[in-house]
A and B are shown apart, each in its own frame.
Chain A
Amino acid sequence: MMEHAPALVIAFPLFAAFASHLIGRLGSRIRDIWVFASLLLTWLFAVFLNLEVMQRGTYAYTLGADISSLASPAGFPVRIVLVIDGMSALIAFMAVSVTLASFIYSRRFMERVSGGGESADRYCSLVLLFLAGMLGMGLTGDFFTLFVFLEMTSISSASLVAFFRKGSSFEAAFKYMIISAINALFLLFGIGMIYSQYGLLNMAAIANEMVLNFSFLDKVALSLIVSAILLKLGSVPVHMWKVDVYQKVPSSVAVMCITSSLVGIYVLSRILFSVFFSMSALTGWMIVCLGSLSIIVGVSMALPQKDLKRMIAYASIAEIGYVMLGIGTGLAGMSSTFGTVALSGGVFHIINDALDLGLMFLIAGAVFYATGKTGISKLGGIAHRSASLSVLFIIGMLAVSGIPPFNGFVSKLIMYESVFCLNPVLSVIGILGSILMLSVFVKVFASVFLGSPYKGKFREIPLSMTAVMWIFALLIILLGLFPGLALDGLVSPAVEALLGHGIYMGVII
C-alpha cells in the first residue's frame, strides 16, 4: 500500500472532503473525528514521502501504470505523473501539517462564529478540498494537472473567503474569484502554447525538448505562466487582492492561504528551475526585482494599517518578497556558491513564513475570538487579560521581523549575506525591510496588548486554540536555536532537488 503513498496523499483528503459532508449528518463530533483522522493519515503519508525521498532520492509515480515507478510505460502517453523529490515532499509535508494545526485551532472558533451545523460541514469539506489542491500542485509533474489542482485551490478558498456570509466577505470572495479566473486563464493560455508546440504536458519531457530548441513561443508561454503564478502568490504589483481576502477570511483559513501562496512560490521555482532553466539569469533578476518591490511596498503599507489582519496581510506580502529574493538570487546565480546559499535561505524562509505568519494570523484570530474585534485602535490592554497571548505575540513579532535567536533571523541572515554578492543594494533593502517590519509590530504590540486593562467583554480563549499557537511558537524557537535541524534535514535535499534539473528529467525520460 505504501508504494502508492504519492497518490494516496492526494486522494485521501479528496475522498474525505466529499465524505465529511455525509458523515456530518451523523453528528458534529463524529464528523470532527473523521476529519481529524483523515488529516492525521494524510500527514503520515506526507511523512512517509519525506522518508522515502531520503532513502530513494527523486522518484516518479505514474497513475494507472502497471509499474508505478515507470513514467513512460508505452512511448510517452498523456498520463498523470507525480514527481517526489526533496522539494515537493517538503511542500506536501508543510501543507498537511499547517492544515492539521489549522483544523484543530478552528474547531471551537468555528463553533462560535458559525454556530456549527451545516456551515461547519461545509467548512470541513472545503478545507480538505483546499488541502488536496495544494498537495496536487506540490506533487504533480505535468502542467495540466497543475492547472486542475490550482483551480481546485482557487474554488475551495474562494468559498472559504465568503464563509462569514457578510457583505464584505462576499465582496472579498467576488474579487478573489475574478483574480483566480484571470490567473487560471493566463496559465492555461501559456500551457496551451507549450502543448501546441511539443504535444506534451509533462514538465520534464517539455524541459528535455526545450534543451534542443527554445523558441520565441516558449518565451511568450514563460511570460504568461510566470505572470499568472505571480498573481496567485500575490507579488507586487498584483498583491492588492491578497489584503482584501486575508482581512475577511477566518484566521484558520488565512493560515492555509499563506501556505497556498508558499506552494505558489514552489510552483514558480519548479517551473523556472526544472523547465525554463535556460532562462535562469533573466528570470532570476526579474524575480529579485519583484521580490525587492514586494518587501518595500508590503512593509511600508503595513505601517499605517488600522486593522490587525490587514496589517499582517501586508506583512505577508513583504515576507513573500524575501522568499522571492532568495529564490531569484538562486536562479540568477545558478552555477555559483552564493546562488546555492541564497536558494537555501529562500527555501528555509518558506518554512519560517508558514510558522511565523501562521502564528501571527492565529493570534489575530484569538484576539477576534476573545473580543470580537480586529481594529487596532479599538483594542488595548489585552496583556492584562491574557499574558499567554502577549508572550506568543512577542515571539511571533520577533520571528517575523528577523530578530535573533528566532527562526526568521537565520533564513534572513543567509539571504542578506548571499544576495549581497549579487548586488549589495538587495541586502540593504532586506535589512531595511526587517527594521520597518519590527516597527510595524512594535506599534501593534503597544496598541493592542499594552495600556490600561481591556474593559470590554473578553471571552476565554479555548485550550485547543492556545495549544496550536504554542506549538507554532515552540517550533519557531526550536528552528531558531537549532537551525541545522531544518537546514540539513529538509532544506538541503530541497535545494539539491531544485538545482538538479538533470536528475528531475532523468527520472521521467
Chain B
Amino acid sequence: MISTGMGSWSPLVFLICVAFISVVVQIIRSLGEGGFRKEEDKAEAFFSGGRLLIKNRVMDVYWGFFDAMGRYYGWMKRMHNGIVNDYVYWFVLLVTVVIGVVILL
C-alpha cells in the first residue's frame, strides 16, 4: 500500500478485485444465449447511422475523430512540415516567450 498524496494504492487489492470481477463476468457469460452465431449481422459494428466515408480497416478506426478534428490536424500538419528552418523559428518563438514571461512576471 503506497500513499499517493490524496489517497492510496495497493496493486494486491486491485488484482483481487480483477480476479473477483472476472469470476462474476464468467458466471454472467455462462448464463447467455448458447445458440449465438458470429456470422449473423449481430456481430457487425454499428456506426450509429452515420456516413461511413472510408473502407472499414483497423487503420481507419478513428476516422470520426479525425473528421471532427480536421481543422486541428490541418494546423498540426502545417506545423510539422519537416523543414528545419521552421524548427528554428519555433525555437526563437519559445526563447522570446520564455524571456518575456521571466522578465515581465
On whether the beta carbons of A376 and B101 are closer than 8 Å, the reply is no
A337 CB-CB contact with B under 8 Å? yes
On whether the beta carbons of A240 and B76 are closer than 8 Å, the reply is no
Stretch at the interface among A143-151, A392-400, A478-486: A478-486
Q: Nearest-CB distance from B9 to chain A (Å)?
A: 6
Chain B 1-35 interface mask (CB, 8 Å, partner A; 1/0): 01011110101101100000000000000000000
Which residues on the B side are within 8 Å of A286 (C-beta)? Answer: 98, 101-102
Which residues on the B side are within 8 Å of A354 (C-beta)? Answer: none
On whether the beta carbons of B11 and A230 are closer than 8 Å, the reply is no
Stretch at the interface among A192-200, A214-222, A460-468: A214-222
- Given A186-B95, A377-B59, A443-B59, answer yes or no on A238-B87 (Cβ-Cβ < 8 Å): yes
Q: Which bracket fits the contact residues of A?
A: 35 or more
Number of interface residues of B (CB under 8 A): 38
A418 CB-CB contact with B under 8 Å? yes
On whether the beta carbons of B94 and A237 are closer than 8 Å, the reply is yes
On whether the beta carbons of A240 and B80 are closer than 8 Å, the reply is yes
Q: Nearest-CB distance from B57 to chain A (Å)?
A: 8
Number of residue pairs A-B, CB distance < 8 angstroms = 122
Tell me the nearest residue of chain A to B85, going by C-beta. A178
Tell me the nearest residue of chain B to A414, going by C-beta. B4
B105 CB-CB contact with A under 8 Å? yes
Which residues on the A side are within 8 Å of B105 (C-beta)? Answer: 282
Which residues on the A side are within 8 Å of B2 (C-beta)? Answer: 410, 483-484, 487
The A interface, classified by DSSP as helix, strand, loop or mixed, is helix
On whether the beta carbons of B59 and A297 are closer than 8 Å, the reply is no
On whether the beta carbons of A413 and B9 are closer than 8 Å, the reply is yes
- Given A414-B5, A443-B62, answer yes or no on A404-B11 (Cβ-Cβ < 8 Å): yes
Partner of A223, one of B14, B84, B95: B95
A23 CB-CB contact with B under 8 Å? no
Which residues on the B side are within 8 Å of A230 (C-beta)? Answer: 94, 98
Partner of B103, one of A216, A297, A306, A421: A216
Q: Nearest-CB distance from A188 to chain B (Å)?
A: 14
On whether the beta carbons of B82 and A237 are closer than 8 Å, the reply is no
On whether the beta carbons of A227 and B95 are closer than 8 Å, the reply is yes
Tell me the nearest residue of chain B to A484, going by C-beta. B2
Bound-complex Cα distance A404 to B13 (A): 11
On whether the beta carbons of B102 and A175 are closer than 8 Å, the reply is no
Chain B 51-76 interface mask (CB, 8 Å, partner A; 1/0): 00000001101100110010011001
Which residues on the B side are within 8 Å of A420 (C-beta)? Answer: 6
A471 CB-CB contact with B under 8 Å? no
Tell me the nearest residue of chain A to B7, going by C-beta. A417
A208 CB-CB contact with B under 8 Å? no
On whether the beta carbons of B103 and A240 are closer than 8 Å, the reply is no
On whether the beta carbons of A405 and B14 are closer than 8 Å, the reply is yes
**What are 6 A-B pairs with beta-carbon distances under 8 A?**
A182-B88, A227-B95, A237-B90, A300-B76, A417-B4, A443-B62
**Which B residues are within 8 Å of any A CB, using their own CB?**
2, 4-7, 9, 11-12, 14-15, 58-59, 61-62, 65-66, 69, 72-73, 76, 79-80, 82, 84, 86-88, 90-91, 93-95, 98-99, 101-103, 105
**Which A residues are within 8 Å of any B CB, using their own CB?**
174-175, 178-179, 182, 186, 216, 219-220, 222-224, 226-227, 230-231, 237-238, 240-241, 243-244, 279, 282-283, 286, 297, 300-301, 303-304, 306, 337-338, 341-342, 376-377, 404-405, 410, 413-414, 417-418, 420-421, 439, 443, 446-447, 450-451, 480-484, 487
8 nearest A-B pairs in the assembled complex, by CB-CB distance: A341-B5, A223-B99, A405-B11, A417-B5, A417-B6, A418-B5, A227-B95, A446-B58
Given A341-B4, A487-B2, 17 additional A-B pairs, CB 8 A: A179-B91, A182-B88, A216-B103, A220-B102, A220-B103, A223-B103, A227-B95, A230-B98, A240-B79, A286-B102, A303-B65, A304-B66, A304-B73, A376-B59, A405-B11, A417-B6, A446-B58
